[in-house]
Amino acid sequence: MTRTSSSTPAIGLTHSVRGALDLITNARDGVLLWQVACEFLTASRKLDKQGFTPAHAWNRLGEFRDLLALVLPTDGNLTRAKELHLIRGASLWDALILAACVEAGVEILYSEDLPGFEDFEGVHVINPFK
């Protein structure tokens, strides 16, 4: 089984966002990492002035949850994320996401912003916009 996840859930309706929505909608065995759900809500706050309100963000997150199994963090996530963050130089969010992928058995992670971690402990990172 190839489990997939995306660290960039779609927010609006741009070309790249439509591509992200297609990936999410068509993912087989896809998962929604807790960290990605939280990052999505945080990033969505910047779109309030464009009409994408917090209520819209929560509703869209609900749509993602209808399509993808929610994966909660484990104690092992923090241990692995700490190493990635402090020793390997990953950002905190990236470290949490990569660690969660390893713990959840995700083999393919769709992300546009994980340079240096294209292949990490069995997780293959693919930029869907290249």
Report the DSSP beta bridge partners of residue 70: 32
CATH architecture under which domain 3-126 falls: 3-Layer(aba) Sandwich (3.40)
- The tens digit of pLDDT for each residue in 96-110 reads 999 999 999 999 998
Q: CA-CA distance, 44 to 42, in Å (whole number)?
A: 5
pTM over 0.85: no
* SS3 category, 100: helix
Q: Where are the domains of the chain?
A: 3-126
- The tens digit of pLDDT for each residue in 8-40 reads 554 444 556 666 667 777 777 889 999 889 989
**∠ CA 70-6-59 to the nearest 5 degrees?**
55
* Cβ atoms 92, 85 nearer than 8 A: yes
The H or E element containing residue 70 is strand 69-71
